[in-house]
């Protein structure tokens, strides 16, 4: 079965071997205070930072999910007020959840077909963005965040782009994601990456009220331990996948070239339409394709008969679109197979 579902999506086939290796090496039976686990966690973080080109002074933590990271941001990094900038469902969900945490929240919603203007004004001490909005297949350009004029912390959800495109780490302070998309791993772990500025603000706030308070998490991670018994398998698999994949610069080039090629294919060689008409805001890792209810229904059935899973549309476009993951684990022959299906 070939899957283009945009999360959880295709897992690297090598993961099957890595699972057996984890069993054979006995790492899954180690406790999270043991020397073997600490060495493995240290190596995982090191190779992850190297392959993703993350600055040395940025810190990496593992959580249960990107959604948990939303909570950590609200509890441990917002002093008084968070601003949530979004054009789709997942950014809006982050705002709605933050609104329930007892601090001031405000929102800035922009049109999903429009380029976001960097001239944003807010007194909020944390500004929250969804860089790649999976629900409508849009993205905020990488260069945008460096143009913001604010002393606030910049928090960015990169769940559908981390591991697929190169990110400008220095332009943000808190980066959060899950592993089941561009990183090509089974669902079940989140990643949070924090700048020295973010750590300083966390220390000024001093939140230690929750089991997932950032300072409590950090106390353990600086010793290469975790605050609770972690998803040891996911950490091990992330380490092995990072050892396997090229540097992010090479992946970025490949993903962007394939996105451009596939967008051109849809426009030139099929009767379908692209949901996002403004190519300046189209995602390079999630592609949304539009048709009539009947066209989409027929295509999904045909895909199923050919052992291809298409991603469902989301929200208002549930029945009139499907979404395609352009993630690194998906191979060229699988895209060729999809093209053959769509051009018939």
Dist CA 160 CA 39 (whole Å): 29
What dihedral do alpha carbons 7, 8, 14, 16 form, nearest 10°?
-170
pTM equals 0.96
Q: How far is CA 141 from the centre of its chain?
A: 15
Give the domain ranges of the chain. 2-8+247-343, 15-244
Per-residue pLDDT of the chain (344 residues; tens, 9 = 90+): 899 999 899 999 999 999 999 999 999 999 999 999 999 999 999 999 999 999 999 999 999 999 999 999 999 999 999 999 999 999 999 999 999 999 999 999 999 999 999 999 999 999 999 999 999 999 999 899 999 999 999 999 999 999 999 999 999 999 999 999 999 999 999 999 999 999 999 999 999 999 999 999 999 999 999 999 999 999 999 999 999 999 999 999 999 999 999 999 999 999 899 999 999 999 999 999 999 999 999 999 999 999 999 999 998 889 999 999 999 999 999 999 999 999 87
Residue 27 near residue 209 (C-beta atoms within 8 A): no
Residue recorded with tokens 């002393």: 151
Dist CA 131 CA 226 (whole Å): 28
Question: What sign has the CA pseudo-torsion 342, 6, 296, 289?
Answer: negative
Structural Rg of the chain based on CA atoms: 20
The two structure tokens encoding residue 68: 């948990």
Please choose, from the candidates 182, 155, 164, 185, the residue with its C-alpha nearest in 3D space to the C-alpha of residue 77: 155
Residue 96 near residue 122 (C-beta atoms within 8 A): no
What is the structure's pLDDT at 105?
98
Residue recorded with tokens 């052992």: 307
Q: What are phi and psi of 59, to 5 degrees?
A: -105, 145
What is the structure's pLDDT at 1?
86
Q: Are strands 132-133 and 321-325 parallel, antiparallel or unpaired?
A: unpaired
* 257 Cβ contact partners less than 8 Å away, ≥ 6 residues apart: none
* DSSP summary character for residue 135: T
Question: What sign has the CA pseudo-torsion 72, 73, 78, 83?
Answer: negative
Q: What is the 3-state secondary structure (H, E, C) of 172-240?
A: CCEEEEECCCCCCCCCCCEEEEECHHHHHHHHHHCCCCCCCCHHHHHHHHCCCCCCCCCCHHHHHHHHH
Q: What are phi and psi of 104, to 5 degrees?
A: -70, 135
What is the structure's pLDDT at 344?
76
Residue 28 near residue 232 (C-beta atoms within 8 A): yes
Residue 127 near residue 150 (C-beta atoms within 8 A): yes
Is 3.40.640.10 the CATH classification of the domain at 15-244?
yes
**What phi-psi label fits residue 270: left (phi over 0), alpha (psi between -120 and 50 degrees) or beta?**
beta
CATH classification (class only), 2-8+247-343? alpha beta
Domains 2-8+247-343 and 15-244 share a fold: no
Dist CA 269 CA 271 (whole Å): 7
């Amino acid at each position: 079965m070939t899957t283009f579902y945009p999360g959880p999506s295709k897992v690297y086939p090598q993961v099957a071997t890595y699972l057996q290796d984890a069993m054979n090496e006995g790492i899954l039976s180690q406790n999270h205070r043991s020397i073997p686990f600490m060495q493995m966690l240290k190596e995982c973080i090191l190779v992850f930072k190297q392959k993703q080109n993350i600055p040395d002074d940025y810190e990496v933590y593992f959580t249960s999910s990107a959604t948990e990271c939303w909570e950590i941001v609200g509890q441990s990094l917002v002093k008084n007020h968070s601003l949530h900038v979004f054009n789709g469902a997942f950014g809006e969900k982050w705002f709605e959840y933050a609104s329930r945490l007892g601090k001031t929240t405000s929102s800035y919603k922009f049109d999903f077909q429009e380029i976001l203007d960097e001239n944003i004004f807010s007194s909020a001490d944390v500004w929250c963005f969804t860089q790649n909005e999976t629900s409508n297949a849009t993205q905020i350009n990488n260069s945008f965040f460096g143009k913001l004029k604010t002393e606030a912390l910049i928090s960015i959800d990169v769940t559908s782009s981390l591991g697929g495109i190169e990110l400008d780490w220095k332009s943000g302070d808190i980066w959060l994601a899950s592993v089941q998309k561009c990183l090509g791993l089974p669902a079940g772990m989140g990643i949070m990456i924090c700048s020295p500025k973010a750590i300083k603000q966390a220390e000024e706030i001093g939140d230690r009220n929750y089991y997932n308070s950032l300072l409590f998490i950090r106390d353990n991670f600086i010793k290469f331990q975790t605050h609770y018994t972690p998803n040891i398998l996911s950490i091990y698999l992330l380490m092995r996948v990072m050892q396997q994949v090229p540097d992010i610069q090479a992946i970025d080039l490949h993903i962007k070239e394939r996105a451009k090629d596939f967008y051109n294919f849809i426009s030139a060689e099929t009767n379908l339409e692209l949901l996002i008409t403004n190519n300046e805001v189209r995602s390079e890792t999630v592609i949304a394709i539009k048709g009539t209810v009947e066209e989409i229904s027929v295509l999904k059935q045909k895909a199923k008969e050919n052992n291809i899973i298409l991603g469902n549309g989301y929200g208002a476009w549930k029945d009139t679109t499907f979404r395609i993951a352009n993630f690194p684990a998906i191979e060229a022959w699988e895209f060729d197979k999809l093209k053959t299906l769509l051009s018939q």
